[in-house]
Amino acid sequence: MSSSLPRPLPVALVGIGKIARDQHVPALAGSDAFALAACVSRSGGIEGIETHATLEALLDARPDIPAVSLCMPPVPRFAAARAAIAAGKHVMLEKPPGATIAEVLRLRQMADGAGVTLFASWHSRMAGGVAPAKAWLADKRVRRIRIDWKEDVRKWHPGQEWIWEAGGLGVFDPGINALSILTEICPGLLHLTAATLTFPENRDTPIAADLTFTGGDDVEATAGFDWRQEGDDIWQIEVETDAGPLRLTEGGSRLFIDGAEQEAGTLGEYPALYARFDELIAGRHSDTDAAPLIHVADAFMLGRRVAGAAFHD
């Protein structure tokens, strides 16, 4: 890290919702690289941490804080990131990095022009089994991929109306986690060819999606995302190769090759994200891979819309 920056680096957390409390706050508490110095929230802050009602108020009051982590929903995130970059802050974006691909590309241009780091984070890529899966697949021929990503929306997104509004992504909010793993372990291999999206009659975003991809004549790939799951969550990716099958389960935290469980990383997704943010700032680089979001955009472009029953939280 640059000698002009303090260590640990003060960071502000913007948007104190479920993901911030469950993941970001504990990760920062255990970090040697960062110290949580302030937060922005209109609905309650974090005990013992300086709280501001708006990002503008934070930027005015704390010019000494060099980095911000944005955890608000995707639609308002562009304006917040733009303001932070204009103020010379390094910025970490919770997934998805924006409501549109154009936003992400524009933010990258702004960050490059301002000489600050922009990190579009994909937490599921940091799951313990993902890196060893990518390494094992590097010299294998992929023949088939099957993704099943199914959970109960009432369990994981209780009362979060923004996910049902335009720009909120609906079932792609968790589904993009699977796509982030897919584009990490098989980079550049696939593109979407068809999609069926099921929309509750009273909502603007889908509750379920079935996707079909191709990577050539001999590669088949499908994905099923569903928020109507009852019972245990299913977060699984299966890959058939010329050297046998690979399976990632529990969101990528467990890896099996030919049925045998492999050693996986243990750092944790969000601690690993902040370690990566630290590396990027130190090297004065940005990381804004939009590949998972491109698949989602393609699904909305190609997708056949199916009407489903009304959803009530």
Active site residues: 95
Query: Can you tell me which residue has the tokens 């992504």?
Result: 169
Spatial distance between the Cα atoms of 132 and 40, rounded to a whole number of angstroms: 37
